Amino acid sequence: MKPKLHIGVLALQGAFAAHAEALRKCGAEVRLVRTQEDLSGLHGLVIPGGESTTMSNLLVASGLSEVLKGLCQDGFPMFGTCAGMIMLAETILDGRSDQVSLRVLNIDIRRNGYGRQNDSFEQDISVHSFDTPFHALFIRAPVIEAIGSDVEVLASWGDRPVLVRTANTLACSFHPELVSDLRIHKIFLSIVENFSVTNPR
């Protein structure tokens, strides 16, 4: 029997509870992360949707921003959704001058690129390796304007990437935690599992 994966969900702000529930349904042990001590013993971290500038300020205030940057440099598995993807991006095109980015994902991103709350929408998307479409919810979703050569596009909507991966980092514009389909979370857990086998903590 495989040992359980221990996954953290950043719980400073945003839709962290729904991610925690989805990960538990996938069989993971879940810990809400609010302090540096909460990161101990984890195999991966989810950064949820929310408000990216508020999340940035709370990361700095909690002392987590520099710790997470160090983990990113070490290849620690991370999964960012919506605002979480913004936090992982190399370049936030319309970010505030003091906005923190972990700069682990080689993309240029624009906040609320698909519109404000009233412009939220649902869309079935084709995901690489999935036999059937994934029903994606886009809520104040960011737009990826450009990607680096090291970034793999796993799903697009129109001509825009909406689910991308580089090494041990996964990110999407939409909210997979708000639907019953667990396949996106399982992609992340497979990344975590492969990393933890070769990098035991």
Q: Which helix (H) or strand (E) holds 57?
A: helix 52-62
Give the mean pLDDT of 148-169: 96
Residue 1 forms part of a structural domain: no
CA 107 to chain centre: 13
**Number of structural domains in the chain:** 1
What is the extent of the structural domain holding 59? 6-198
pLDDT (tens digit, 9 = 90+) per residue, 40-84? 999 999 999 988 888 888 998 898 999 999 999 999 999 999 999
Domain assignment present for residue 127? The answer is yes
Instruction: Indicate the pLDDT class of residue 142, thresholds 50, 70 and 90.
Output: very high
Q: Identify residue 70 by its one-letter amino acid code.
A: G
In a domain, 148, yes or no: yes
Instruction: Specify if 109 maps to a domain.
Output: yes
Which tops the pLDDT comparison, 136 or 15? 136
Give the active site residue among 82, 90, 172, 185. Answer: 82
Q: What value does the mean pLDDT of the chain take?
A: 91
Catalytic residue among 19, 43, 90, 177: 177
Is 142 among the domain residues? yes
pTM of this prediction? 0.94
* pLDDT of 2 higher than 80: no
Domain CATH number, residue 160: 3.40.50.880
The answer to whether position 25 is within a domain reads yes
Instruction: Grade residue 22 by pLDDT with cuts at 50, 70 and 90.
Output: very high
Query: What mean pLDDT do residues 149-155 have?
Result: 97
- Which of 19, 43, 175, 185 is catalytic? The answer is 175
CB atoms closer than 10 angstroms to residue 90? 18
Return the bridge partners of 161, or none.
156
Tell me, yes or no, if 177 is annotated catalytic.
yes
* Rounded mean pLDDT, 182-190: 98
CA 88 to chain centre: 8
pLDDT at 166: 95
Please, are residues 55 and 85 in contact by the beta-carbon 8 Å criterion? no
Cβ contact 165:107 at 8 Å: no
Whether 37 is catalytic: no
Residue 34 lies in a domain: yes
Bigger pLDDT: 119 or 17? Answer: 17
